[in-house]
A and B are shown apart, each in its own frame.
Chain A
Amino acid sequence: SSELTQDPAVSVALGQTVRITCQGDSLRSYYASWYQQKPGQAPVLVIYGKNNRPSGIPDRFSGSSSGNTASLTITGAQAEDEADYYCNSRDSSGNHLGNYVFGTGTKVTVL
């Protein structure tokens, strides 16, 4: 099965920009989706597809992809963006429903 690799932790000054990356072979075929998780809470979808935000997600969150790497960028990070972030993608194994894999997760600290 495939793997998605993320940096374990990044920090960003309040109001600055941070980019979180996710690398894996499955990303050459499928777009990543990104999830924000705060302590004790369920994950929340923040980006999906080429660069789509669900309703209610601030436009400071954006996504991009190139080759085997997907990126989530927070432009003008706020204190409330401090959380764990996970990428996810489908991979080519399994039946018609597919298999999926999560990245290893990145802890974002807002200074």
Chain B
Amino acid sequence: QVQLVQSGAEVKKPGASVKVSCKASGYTFTSYYMHWVRQAPGQGLEWMGIINPSGGSTSYAQKFQGRVTMTRDTSTSTVYMELSSLRSEDTAVYYCARGMQQLVDHYYYYMDVWGKGTTVTVSS
């Protein structure tokens, strides 16, 4: 079955970087995009960016431009999200989610499978 397994919780100090991994299984890794979404405590979902595992191209939310880097390793079917210059406001659960793009009568864009999330805590 399709699964996304994320790396474990992280505790970082302000100014540091964090790299979260998401290992995919149960499908052809390079055939589907991958999104990263985060959720601060008690807050809503926030889209961070998307990577195409086939060629490695990315698109990032303007808010995170210059601070986020998404990469992939096709040999291990793993995508990574690295966020730098961490501040307390980056404390959140970070999710990876498989991105679907389906042409029916119109293009449908959605996220059909999600990882369980990785908690990142930024504290001095």
Contact = CB atoms under 8 A, between A and B. Distances in A.
26 contacts: A1-B61, A30-B109, A31-B108, A33-B109, A33-B110, A35-B45, A45-B111, A48-B112, A49-B106, A50-B104, A50-B105, A86-B45, A90-B109, A93-B62, A95-B59, A96-B57, A97-B52, A98-B109, A99-B62, A100-B47, A100-B109, A101-B47, A102-B37, A102-B44, A102-B47, A104-B44
A54 interface: yes
A98 B112 contact: no
A98 to B, nearest CB: 6
A88 B108 contact: no
Contacts of A103: 44
A43 B45 contact: yes
A97 B46 contact: no
Nearest to A42: B114
B50 interface: yes
Interface string B93-124: 00101001010111111111011110000000
Interface of A: 1, 30-31, 33, 35, 37, 42-45, 48-50, 52, 54, 84, 86, 88-90, 93-105
B3 to A, nearest CB: 12
Instruction: Describe B's contact surface by its main secondary structure.
Output: strand
A101 to B, nearest CB: 6
B17 interface: no
B112 A54 contact: yes
A102 B105 contact: no
Contact of B57 (A86, A88, A97): A97
Contacts of A52: 108
Most buried by B among A37, A98, A100, A103: A100
Given A35-B45, A97-B33, A102-B45, A45 B59 contact: no
Interface in B7-51: 33, 35, 37, 44-47, 50
